[in-house]
Amino acid sequence: QVQLVESGGGLVQAGGSLRLSCAVSGSIFSINAMGWYRQAPGKQRELVAVITSGGSTDYADFVKGRFTISRDNAKNTVYLQMNSLKPEDTAVYYCNAGDYRGNYYYHGGSWGQGTQVTVSS
């Protein structure tokens, strides 16, 4: 299986930036794609961004132009650079190892503990 550990969250003012990290270990060579999700209190978990093993990326409309997903294979780490943060970005952010096929991301069964992002107005 794949083990995922998210970090980098914190408290930031609206308009600020954070960079989240996801350390990946385990069966890393079986990973087709990585996704970042977020879950706000009382809401369902939603997909934020995807990066494939080939380096292609895709984003949810609500973060497009503000967030950037990237990968450092040497460090087995996936990042989410979050700029121009808004209060509605407040959520617990999770990374996930899954598959991206035909413009759809299929999440895997392993999740990290998540990292809290809080954006104040």
Q: Is pLDDT of 1 > 90?
A: no
Predicted confidence at residue 80, as pLDDT, reads 98
Percent with pLDDT over 70 in the chain: 100
Q: What's the start-to-end Cα distance of the chain, in Å?
A: 39
Which tens digits make up the pLDDT trace of 35-47?
999 999 999 999 9
Which tens digits make up the pLDDT trace of 37-95?
999 999 999 999 999 988 999 999 999 999 999 999 889 999 999 999 999 999 999 99
Sequence-distant (6+) residues with CB within 8 A of 92 are: 9, 38, 39, 40, 114, 115, 116, 117
The structure tokens listed for 47 are 């997909």
